[in-house]
Amino acid sequence: MFADETGYPVLRFKGFTEKWEQRKLGEIGETFSGLSGKNKNDFGHGDANFITYMNVFSNSIADLRGTEHVEIDSKQNQVIYGDILFTTSSETPEEVGMSSIWLGHTKNTYLNSFCFGYRILEKQNFDSYYMAYLLRTENFRKRMTVLAQGISRYNISKKQVMNTFVNFPTMEEQRRIGKTLFLIDKTITLHDKKIQYLKQLKRGLLQKMFV
């Protein structure tokens, strides 16, 4: 469903035929840093919240509950709806530059120190769900892996990420792609919850039905 170097995807919704546009991430948005100047005494309390590293790493669409309290006493960069978050380091090159999009409207929300944020300036031209899935595709992940540098721990630079090209179609097609993939994810989550419930039910029956 995503275009390759030819500018055309292999699989496509009916009615869409236009070639996809290609631009660098740095041409359509700008980066911002996570929390800085913090020590352990600032965490675990306070009126503000920060998005955890594992929340960014684990979810293409960030879990709005995946935050922790932090005390903010100096100017920091707030995270707003539609911001894309990237991990900057990991123990393996394959796990560097994992992305997650924030779709929360809460104020006083910040980003952990081991990630950086990316804010699209042309929001009218990009669908949030489309971007969330695009940046988790196998093609994009391979490019992030190539950019990883290090020996015992791997890092990636914001500048290199911003020089990476992405392909995107019309807004209408972006919305179709993003909505479809989101609904599939939602269905998977519902089935996972049902499976967990059935497993718990089975354990309970095994305990009560046998002597």
CATH value at residue 98? 3.90.220.20
* Length, in residues, of the chain: 211
Q: What integer pLDDT is reported at residue 152 of this predicted model?
A: 87
**pLDDT at residue 74 greater than cutoff 90:** no
**pLDDT at residue 6 greater than cutoff 80:** no
* Beta carbons within 8 Å of 120's beta carbon, 6+ residues apart: 28, 29, 82, 84, 126, 131
Phi then psi dihedrals of residue 171, to 5 deg: -60, -40
Asked, for residue 2, whether it belongs to a domain, the answer is no
Asked, for residue 13, whether it belongs to a domain, the answer is no
Q: What integer pLDDT is reported at residue 57 of this predicted model?
A: 97
Structural domain of residue 155, as residue ranges? Answer: 21-209
Q: In this predicted structure, which of 42-46, 49-53, 71-75, 117-121 has the lowest mean pLDDT?
A: 71-75
Q: What value does the mean pLDDT take over residues 94-109?
A: 96
**pLDDT at residue 211 greater than cutoff 90:** no
Asked, for residue 47, whether it belongs to a domain, the answer is yes
The token pair that represents 202 in the structure block: 């089975």
pLDDT in tens, 155-169: 999 999 999 999 999
**pLDDT at residue 145 greater than cutoff 80:** yes
Q: Let me know: does 18 contact 169? Beta carbons within 8 Å.
A: yes
Q: What integer pLDDT is reported at residue 8 of this predicted model?
A: 86
pLDDT in tens, 42-57: 999 999 999 999 999 9
What does pLDDT average to over the chain?
A: 94
Check residue 61 and report its DSSP letter.
B
**pLDDT at residue 75 greater than cutoff 80:** yes
Quickly count: other Cβ atoms within 10 Å of residue 102's Cβ: 26
Asked, for residue 14, whether it belongs to a domain, the answer is no
Asked, for residue 6, whether it belongs to a domain, the answer is no
pLDDT in tens, 76-99: 999 999 999 999 999 999 999 999
Number of domains within the chain: 1
Asked, for residue 38, whether it belongs to a domain, the answer is yes
d(C-alpha 76, C-alpha 17), whole Å: 44
pTM above 0.85, yes or no: yes
Identify the band that residue 3 occupies on the pLDDT scale cut at 50, 70 and 90.
confident
Q: What integer pLDDT is reported at residue 105 of this predicted model?
A: 95
Burial class, 106, CB count within 10 angstroms (exposed 0-12 / middle 13-18 / buried 19+): middle
Asked, for residue 8, whether it belongs to a domain, the answer is no
Asked, for residue 74, whether it belongs to a domain, the answer is yes
200 to each of 181, 205, 207, how far by Cα in Å? Answer: 29, 9, 11
- As separate numbers, helices (DSSP H) first and strands (DSSP E) second, the chain gives 6, 12
